[in-house]
Structure 1
């Protein structure tokens, strides 16, 4: 069996999965991409985009980690 080294078996995450992993909504993700703070998406078609799972994991801490140390988090008085 021949394998093609240029074909990746990387899992691609669609927007709802990326939102769940990062805790960010669509507009915040695209703003972070524009600022170079989040990995760019891969266009799958005219109306579809996805992110390689490893890049999302490496480029942004999980939402639960960010919430624990969020300096601007409002706490009830």
Structure 2
């Protein structure tokens, strides 16, 4: 069972929604990067770190962190050129 399904089944309705997890394939589709590019950016500290399943090699990313990363990329694109270059 994927973690988002298990968490939602136990969560009371008055609380905020449970975090949604994305698989590597879902992350690749959403951000338009291949696995190698994602892992390279993770090593460089430029991409969200995954959540590891203790019992397997499966990893998931929090949807909210992927969305925040995407918003940051958009904000960086819209920033003046001098701010991006550090001048």
**TM, length-normalised to structure 2:** 0.58
Q: State how far apart, in whole Å, the 2-side matches of 1:35 and 1:55 are.
A: 16
Q: Establish whether residue 9 from structure 1 lines up as the match of residue 28 from structure 2.
A: no
Structure with the higher fraction of residues in helix conformation: 2
| Structure 1 alignment gaps of length 5 or more | 66-77
Report the aligned-residue RMSD. Answer: 2.0
Q: Which residue of 2 aligns with 1:31?
A: 40
Q: How far did 1:60 drift?
A: 2.7
Q: Establish whether residue 47 from structure 1 lines up as the match of residue 60 from structure 2.
A: no
Structure with the higher fraction of residues in strand conformation: 1
Q: How far did 1:47 drift?
A: 1.2
Q: Which has the higher contact order (CA 8 A, sep 6+)?
A: 1
| Structure 2 alignment gaps of length 5 or more | 1-10, 75-87
**TM, length-normalised to structure 1:** 0.65
Q: How many pairs were matched up?
A: 57
